[in-house]
Chain A
């Protein structure tokens, strides 16, 4: 078994319609029966800068990007310099003639790697078939479609579907795509036909981002309020829940800041509904006081922490996984919490539902970690898993903060039918009365922390993939795990231990693997190996071999392949 890929990249400026182009292509490829994975790079500005949209087409379900592409389509002058080095040997570069000014070095690269340059005046071609300038991208799409050697029917269907509700001349759009497809510039030696077989069943698969799957998980779990404050890469959860709010009835509120968003969640969940907010590191900083409050008052909360790279404002639209320590330690005082990490739409969907169950049952804040690579990339997946049953942990009892072995006290919904309900962020006794007594403080603190142990019993073990007798076992989570997962398809001799539940941590499998003598390698999309530190803290075991990447890019397939080949 060896997965093969054909990779297309669009490079241009923000605001040139690269996304639409990429989306249509990705959908049409799926419609033709092929798997694909789409990854976007874009700057934190509205017009200009350099942006790209890369589609990896494969004969297997994949969830990562390659560092290299076979076809590079350049829409703006500057993009060539950024993306030419990513064109693989024998690749094709499509560009507008007047756009290309290459350095000597670049020309050498092209020669050495036998790269073909094709200049295509897409605007002129669009106008020639009575299209308009804006339809130049359609010409490009048709041209690429021809290079791939695919039947035009699926492409036409998707184009029609994409523009059906928009105010455009559909027939002209199709004509433009066709003039690209039939261009006489396409010579046999530049064709890059997909050589693997389509799986026609795959047509019904889903093209979905991690954020959309989180949103669907929330909808499915009965989340009835979403409190938002925009911050990349969490924002598109807000978009999806907002765009569907008439169908779902979910209350959407854009709060004045993240402090408010978190407080709204805490207030709503305390009253007995399910609510959620989503942010990135900077917004999460502002939420930490509320997380601490939820911790001591034992109020359920669900927060999505969609990571991007860097401290301060960092590099807002680029990926990273440097906020694990923040999720673990954000908020003053000592209190129980649960941290989960998603890596693809399937587990984003499931874990979001589980987050609500755990938050309510254990009356704790639950933090759902994701990162830009998961949040915004478009995964092509067969289906989402079955929904999981709702568990709410609502029970009657005499005392709100009763001391129990499990650490879980009775929780009820404030209502005309129930006794009054007192929540407090003061240290308190079993009734909720504020206390400063030493024994009360210790008893209540111990009770709360027992919830971590009870939860540790309930959560899933990390999942092991790959070889039964591995020489090397990677340990990871999040989007880095996706790349390892795809590597296993080419390296059946390695193993991968994948974490969804980060805290409480189940570490026994790592010790077990170490006992069998395999080399253990930590893989993280950050600078200091946060997860490794957690493993050491919890288990005493230190993973000394590490792959760490913190340049704002996800782990590309080649990052791991090169490591294995070294």
Chain B
């Protein structure tokens, strides 16, 4: 039985600008959880610092708003402690590609069973519009009157180069597709990375709804090879959305831990006093 979306609501009013893509992303998260029958208290969302992170107290789930760039390791620590809770990490393109890029790469290669949602609005929005690694080369930005002098990072290319077990790209202008993507990402056993093309009418006017509508094309089904997936995410004229690549053959981090293979409990169930007298024999 799906859980009604209202159960994930609370009284706190959102603080995003009019037309901000975060509204749709927020609703799509609630809808995806509800349709998967994952209750608010069975969910943990870690939030980063940024406009996306400002959603932390506006949703009724277990939540932890930590530090800039750190929502991914915070989510991993939480997940390892209790795998019965569905864990999502949300993070901006700034937090993900700048402050915490190492965490993204290692999360993918370790293949923890969590879902990472990257809100890509092509700027540091909360600090009022500085360039991030996804801001177009040469674009005039805060403090950069002659345009940003570096090349961009393509999130899809970066993620695929780390051999993910799940990569998808969604768009805040299509909350229904986004909901489906989130559902698949949550259900996927392993580290699911979703890049969300997020509109930011305040600091990224160029990437408007019209701009996206002209370019976005939905993929029918995931690409079969990582090379095809890479070619697809690298297309210039088109932005392909949908589930781009999956690989179910990669074991999760936890499943590879020899000493946890036969345990039926989670780490949170195991806090008690342990007798060390046997271990002490080795010191005699």
Contacts and interface: CB of A to CB of B under 8 A. Distances in A.
A167 to B, nearest CB: 20
Given A220-B273, A420-B61, A425 B66 contact: yes
Interface in A400-439: 413-426, 428, 431-434
Interface-centre pick from B76, B102, B266 (highest chain A CB count, 10 A) = B76
Given A257-B102, A267-B81, A425-B65, 20 more contacts: A220-B276, A225-B77, A225-B267, A227-B77, A247-B279, A248-B259, A251-B80, A251-B267, A253-B253, A263-B74, A264-B76, A267-B64, A270-B78, A271-B78, A297-B66, A390-B271, A390-B272, A425-B67, A433-B57, A434-B56
Nearest to A289: B67
27 contacts: A204-B284, A219-B274, A220-B275, A225-B80, A245-B259, A249-B259, A251-B257, A253-B253, A263-B70, A267-B46, A267-B78, A268-B81, A270-B64, A270-B81, A290-B67, A290-B70, A384-B276, A416-B84, A420-B60, A420-B61, A420-B62, A420-B63, A422-B63, A424-B57, A424-B63, A426-B56, A434-B57
A290 B273 CA distance: 27
Given A266-B77, A420-B40, A273 B273 contact: no
Interface-centre pick from A245, A251, A267, A421 (highest chain B CB count, 10 A) = A267
Contacts of A420: 40-41, 60-63
A230 interface: no
B209 interface: no
Contacts of B103: 256, 260
Contact of B65 (A212, A271, A423): A423
A216 interface: yes
A566 interface: no
A271 B82 CA distance: 7
A392 B268 CA distance: 12
A216 B276 contact: yes
Interface string B235-273: 000000000000000000100011110010011101111
A271 B64 CA distance: 10
Contact of A208 (B64, B76, B263, B283): B283
B1 interface: no
B44 A271 contact: yes
A267 to B, nearest CB: 2
A204 B85 CA distance: 46
Contacts of B42: 416
Contacts of B273: 220-222, 387, 389-390
B41 A273 contact: no
B160 interface: no
B278 interface: yes
Interface string A369-393: 0000000000000001001011010
A31 to B, nearest CB: 9
Interface bracket on B: 35 or more
Interface string B92-128: 0000000000110110000000000000000000000
Given A224-B271, A264-B73, A219 B65 contact: no
Interface residues of A, number: 70
A246 B258 contact: yes
B81 A225 contact: yes
B250 to A, nearest CB: 17
A164 to B, nearest CB: 13
Contact of A273 (B12, B65, B82, B279): B82
B24 interface: no
B149 to A, nearest CB: 28
A390 B273 CA distance: 7
A259 interface: yes
Contacts of B73: 255, 259-260, 263-264, 267
A192 interface: no
Contacts of A222: 270-274
Interface in A183-221: 204-208, 212, 216, 219-221
Given A270-B78, A271-B268, A424-B65, A415 B276 contact: no
Nearest to B280: A206
A433 B259 CA distance: 40
Contacts of B65: 297, 423-426, 434
B131 to A, nearest CB: 23
Contacts of B61: 420
Contacts of A270: 64, 77-78, 81
Contacts of A424: 56-57, 63-65
B121 to A, nearest CB: 20
Nearest to A30: B284
A314 B42 CA distance: 47
B280 A224 contact: no
A265 B77 CA distance: 6
Contacts of A384: 276, 280
Contact of A260 (B40, B102, B263): B102
A384 B259 CA distance: 26
A396 interface: no
A272 interface: yes
A293 interface: yes
A221 B284 CA distance: 22
Nearest to B266: A273
Contacts of B79: 267
Nearest to A262: B73
B159 interface: no
A266 B44 CA distance: 14
A297 B56 CA distance: 13
Contacts of A216: 276, 279-280
Contacts of A259: 70, 73
B41 A418 contact: yes
Given A222-B272, A418-B41, A419-B41, A206 B284 contact: yes
Contacts of A271: 44, 77-78, 81-82, 85, 268
A432 B57 contact: yes
Contact of B77 (A267, A416, A417): A267
B75 interface: yes
A491 B235 CA distance: 81
Contacts of B85: 271, 414-415
Interface-centre pick from A207, A273, A289 (highest chain B CB count, 10 A) = A273
